[in-house]
Amino acid sequence: MATLRSLTARFSALFRRRELHDRVGEELQFHIRMQTEENIRRGLAPPDAQAAAHRKLGNTTQVREEVHRMNTIEFLDETARNFRLSFRTLCKNPGFALTAVLVLALGLGASTAMFSALDRILFRPLPYPDGDRLVQIGMTVPDFGPSANGGRGDVVFTDHAYLARWIPPPEPFVSVTIVSRTPDCDITEEQRPERVKCAYVSDNFLETFRVHVALGRDFMPEDDVRGAPPVAIISHGLWLRRFGGDPDAVGRTLNIGGVPVPVIGVMPPHFETPRGDSADIWRPSQIFPIPPEFATMSTFITIFGRLKPGVTPQQAEVAVAPLILEDARLLRRGPLDDYRPRVRSLRDYQVGDASRAAWLLLGAVAGLLLIACVNVTNLILARLAAREREFAVRAALGACRWRLARLALMESLLLSAAAGALGLAIAAGLLRLFVSLAPSSIFKLNEASLDLRVFAVAAILSAIAGAAIGIWPAISVLRTATLQHGARVTVARPRLRFALVTRSDRADRRDAGQFGAVAALAMEPGQRAAGFSKRPRCHDERDVDGRALYAKSRTARIPRSTARPHPSLTGYRRCHVE
């Protein structure tokens, strides 16, 4: 309780540090005045009295420092200091900073753009409640070839087979529904006739997908009977377009293909068909019961089902395979060896083989990001080697190794944050390019955009990149930032650095086409900016060790006439501590 209280007090004190500082100052002043007056009363001369009061009070700077420490959260304070310092350091080395940021930004931008483009295929949940339990049921029929049904190779049931086998839904399905066809149709109103997309579905379609109409009512079983009066549920878009979002639209009629059809409901906004496209008008399929004269005819329908919880599509496939094959027998009299029953998740149905390609692409950009990180790590290590004197001086002035390591890490994080921001801009550009190319085989690519989800991923990526490029330099600082080792101990062994560079070089070549080119681009200026082969700007033949530095800070007290620089310091004088 007391600790919590103390912590909150400390936190609130953070924001009124100035006030508390002034308060202590005033109290100390008051104390000295009181003490001085008392000393005078005791018979001391005023100057002596005041000096005695000061003596008795002790070191007021120490008091102020203690109060300051008490009213601060050291970690936050230090982080803010490191941030400012890193910012200044990077600003002083624009060449290095720009190169590192650019290289990282390319990697981050490409990754972000690729993630955004492939998000719908791989990660984003389907826009239906418990969408992972939705499956498409069918079989691959070699007769129709892999391009059957728009490249999906899916199936194909006869109507009467559906009726016989799938109502009521077999184990392990909660419900099974069909989409019979999605033709173009015409709204034939006198004013503003338009061509739209109609979808014919069974009455339990919305129920199976667990979607509720935004307005009006869902289909009833009696709507989905051959010969029943026509009804329609219209899409949210069409409702806005034709009825201006009027709630009274339900009950009005819409002339579709010359037939007046009452509108019974409005879909929620952005509702998608199971294929991922959109339809404007939803109508009951009304194919059952099938009149005897149609009994031997078949129509293409697509079956979707909702699995019971905990059942995988594979298990369901095993369970309903006999049923599917029985249906297939109605299609073909010969052997069914090459008919393969298939139950696959709705996501698989929608994206098909694209997911494998998507993983491949994602892997490629991840490789690119990795290469960028390795290169920037190299840059930082190279620069640390050049800055080892600075770190030695900081260590000599009392910075502990962990502080120095945190400082090095902060620089990396700052670089990656800047790169993340620039990467977003690059991602936006790349994404525009992707969308304009938009191969139709990549599902929903034309809808990819930078939304909050993508921002979050970009932020996480840049944080990870920051940690990745920062951790090694920080460790090397931790290992070597002690003055005893002298300036000759390198922050990171050069051989290791070159080994790294060559390794990433090879990785570039191994990488396919364009990515290799980009990576190589990232490599080139990187090496030059860091000046791998150049010697550090400030160099001295002698070691500058701790004692020499300390001696330098002491020479200030030696009278000018006798002061002569120690020979070991002449080299150091030429150095700048950046």
Partner 1 sequence: MDKDKAAILQGTLDLLVLKTVETMGPLHGWAIAKRIEQIAEDLLEMKYGTLYPALMRLEQSGWISSEWGTSDNNRRARFYSITRQGRKQLALEAKGWAQMSAFITRMLGSTR
Name the residues that contact partner 1, by CB under 8 A. 2, 5-6, 9-10, 13, 20, 23-24, 26-28, 30-31, 33-35, 37, 56-60, 62-63, 66-67, 70-71
Element (H, E) at 37: helix 17-41
Element (H, E) at 232: strand 232-234
| Measured distance CA(544)–CA(400) in Å, rounded | 19
- E-assigned strands of 158-206? 173-181, 184-187, 194-201
* Residue with smaller CB distance to partner 1, 20 or 51: 20
182: three-class secondary structure by DSSP: coil
* Residue with smaller CB distance to partner 1, 58 or 559: 58
Q: How far is the CB of 74 from partner 1 (least distance, A)?
A: 15
Give me the residue label for tokens 């098909």: 352
- For residue 310, what are its two tokens? 């905990």
| Measured distance CA(449)–CA(356) in Å, rounded | 21
Give me the residue label for tokens 């990526």: 461
* Residue with smaller CB distance to partner 1, 77 or 272: 77
The answer to whether residues 513 and 105 touch, using CB atoms and an 8 Å cutoff, is no
HSE-up (13 A, CA, CB side) for residue 354: 22
* Residue with smaller CB distance to partner 1, 71 or 89: 71
| Measured distance CA(336)–CA(155) in Å, rounded | 15
* Residue with smaller CB distance to partner 1, 33 or 308: 33
* Residue with smaller CB distance to partner 1, 36 or 82: 36
Q: How far is the CB of 25 from partner 1 (least distance, A)?
A: 10
The answer to whether residues 525 and 95 touch, using CB atoms and an 8 Å cutoff, is no
Q: How far is the CB of 10 from partner 1 (least distance, A)?
A: 7
* Residue with smaller CB distance to partner 1, 7 or 397: 7
Q: How far is the CB of 55 from partner 1 (least distance, A)?
A: 9
Q: How far is the CB of 308 from partner 1 (least distance, A)?
A: 57
* Residue with smaller CB distance to partner 1, 62 or 533: 62
The answer to whether residues 223 and 245 touch, using CB atoms and an 8 Å cutoff, is no
Q: How far is the CB of 39 from partner 1 (least distance, A)?
A: 12
Q: How far is the CB of 34 from partner 1 (least distance, A)?
A: 4
262: three-class secondary structure by DSSP: strand
* Residue with smaller CB distance to partner 1, 38 or 194: 38
Q: How far is the CB of 80 from partner 1 (least distance, A)?
A: 22
Q: How far is the CB of 11 from partner 1 (least distance, A)?
A: 11
* Residue with smaller CB distance to partner 1, 59 or 441: 59
The answer to whether residues 377 and 523 touch, using CB atoms and an 8 Å cutoff, is no
φ/ψ (deg, to 5) at 134: -90, 135
| Measured distance CA(455)–CA(138) in Å, rounded | 38
Length of the chain: 578
* Residue with smaller CB distance to partner 1, 68 or 479: 68
- For residue 261, what are its two tokens? 């059809």
The answer to whether residues 96 and 529 touch, using CB atoms and an 8 Å cutoff, is yes
Give me the residue label for tokens 């209280």: 5
Neighbouring C-beta atoms of residue 121, cutoff 10 Å:
23
Q: How far is the CB of 23 from partner 1 (least distance, A)?
A: 7
Q: How far is the CB of 24 from partner 1 (least distance, A)?
A: 6
Amino acid at 290: I
457 burial (CB, 10 Å; 0-12 / 13-18 / 19+) is: middle
144: three-class secondary structure by DSSP: helix
For 48-61, letters b (16+ CB in 10 Å) and e give ebbebbeeeeeeee
Q: How far is the CB of 37 from partner 1 (least distance, A)?
A: 8
Give me the residue label for tokens 């004013």: 191
* Residue with smaller CB distance to partner 1, 38 or 447: 38
- For residue 563, what are its two tokens? 């002061």
